[in-house]
Amino acid sequence: MTEVQLQEFKLEPDSELRFEVESKNEKVVLEVKSGYAELFGTELVKNKPYEFHTGAKVAVFTWHGCTVELRGRTEVSYVAKETPMVVYLNVHAALEQQRVAAEQDSTRGPVTMVVGPGDVGKSTLTRILLNYAVRMARRPIYVDLDVGQGQISVPGTIGALLVERPASIEEGFSQQAPLVYHFGHKSPDENLELYNTIVSRLAEVIAERCEHNKKASTSGVIINTCGWVKGAGYKVLTHAAQAFEVDVILVLDNERLYNELKRDMPKFVKVVYLPKSGGVVERSTSQRAEIRDSRIREYFYGKRTPYYPHSFDVKFSDLKIYKVGAPSLPDSCMPLGMRAEEALTKLVPVWASPALAHRLLAVSFSPAADELALHSNLAGFVCVTAVDSERQTMTILSPQPRPLPNTILLLSELQYMDNH
């Protein structure tokens, strides 16, 4: 049922208002009228209107009680008294103790990985813990290994950010100077070899950066992961835990995964089971696809702050496009001394053709098409909006004006229809 109107909610201490905006082109405005409240760990400013659009699933939590007003059409809106926020706050307090100890002993702060199946609130818990850390004047590193529903850059990548201020309510964490690596698919199982390679690379680069940034190093790292936790998905998680040398693994809502990790992780890794919030909303495959699409749209056009991308034509002959991964052959058919898996991280040239229409291309910082390209941070993304085979040109949507940098482009499986 859809409710229109102005709604006012009085929240008691330790409770939250949950609401969803579902209808197309709908806008809901939230305002705190009295008391204090926060949204996934970011404090809300009293009497300041915050806008939420179609697809938003939100919880406004209060530790001390508050009054909140909602204007617009919400699909669902209710107050919940049962939340796991006290448990999450205790986790934050324990991490904070480790940061204090790291500061005193000049060692590394806690490296924490959040794991669990799909739709249990991993991204939300990551955001809450990062916000609480930065509100205590820490500078934690946020790592997102979720190639399907990650919050850094576009889908099909993994990345990291230094968090210097709480997430903006409407736009999330500031995306200034992120480290981003190309994967090119929306699930790690499309190329496990490549996924593990870039996870190891990201971990290495972060460890190097921490050596030069003491504040970030003592603040620690919080890692969000994919919701794929069984079979090969479990191996991917344990590989990431090893690569980042994690100290803490927070397991949301899955006892089997918790027990497996307790069994398999070295003793110094603290594996902690946490309940999921009753407010976390399950998303259908089509909703997930819509979220991916809107992340790409926001990359080019901005969210609240609008961006103005450029569109221009490029000659086929001026483009160096590669895809990662040659077709897999049995070991016996490989050149001497090469493993079949190695083919999965090889760069293969792709000829410009109409099949590239609507595909994303990652702009690498690497000038050469060697394995360094996979180990290089990305400069950004462009999208092929049209292909003209007769004129041998492509129309490119790009955040930067022409020309494209003279580096290689990595083809992503992800597509975006630019009908902005």
Residues lying near ligand ATP in the complex (CB under 6 A): 18, 57-59, 118-124, 146, 149, 227, 277, 279-281
Calculated CA dihedral for residues 232, 345, 313, 402, nearest 10 degrees: 100
Query: Taking the CA of residue 70 as centre, how many other CA atoms within 13 Å lie in the half-sphere pointing to its CB?
Result: 26
Residue at token pair 């291309």: 361
Nearer to ligand ATP, 2 or 47 (CB): 2
Distance CA 29, CA 51 (A): 5
Residues whose CB falls within 8 Å of the CB of residue 389, separated by 6 or more in sequence, listed in order: 353, 354
122 is known to lie in a ligand binding site? yes
Pairing of β 27-35 and β 66-71: antiparallel
| Least distance CB 53 / ligand ATP (angstroms) | 13
Q: 5 near 49, Cβ under 8 Å?
A: no
**Paired tokens of 276:** 């999921």
Lookup: tokens for 42: 């970011």
Phi, psi of 207 (to 5 degrees): -60, -40
In the complex, least distance from residue 29 CB atom to ligand ATP, rounded to whole angstroms: 18
Ligand-binding annotation for 214, yes or no, is no
The answer to whether 331 is annotated as binding is no
- Nearest distance in Å: CB 110, ligand ATP: 20
In the complex with ligand ATP, the residue whose CB is nearer, 149 or 393, is 149
Nearer to ligand ATP, 59 or 237 (CB): 59
Please say which residue, 120 or 382, places its beta carbon nearer to ligand ATP.
120
Nearest approach, Cβ of 224 to ligand ATP (angstroms)?
7
Closer of 149 and 196 to ligand ATP (Cβ): 149
> Is residue 16 annotated as involved in ligand binding?
yes
Least Å from the CB of residue 339 to ligand ATP: 32
Among residues 117, 110, 391, the alpha carbon closest in space to that of 254 is found at 117
Residue (61 or 244) nearer to ligand ATP, CB? 61
CA pseudo-torsion sign 296, 189, 236, 327: negative
Which residues are CB-neighbours of 393 under 8 A, at least 6 positions away?
313, 314, 315, 316, 387
10 is in an annotated binding site: no
Burial grade of 311 (CB within 10 A; 0-12, 13-18, 19 or more): middle
| Gap between the Cα atoms of 257 and 88, Å rounded | 19
Q: Which amino acid is at 64?
A: H
Residue with the CB atom nearest ligand ATP in the bound state: 279
Separation CA 393–CA 38 (nearest Å): 50
Please identify, using beta-carbon distances, which residue of 56 and 207 lies nearer to ligand ATP: 56
Report in angstroms how near the CB of residue 379 gets to ligand ATP at its nearest: 26
Residue 290 counted as an annotated binding residue? no
Compute the least distance from the CB of residue 389 to ligand ATP, in Å: 38
Binding-site residue numbers are 16, 57, 119-124
Binding-site residue numbers for ATP are 16, 57, 119-124
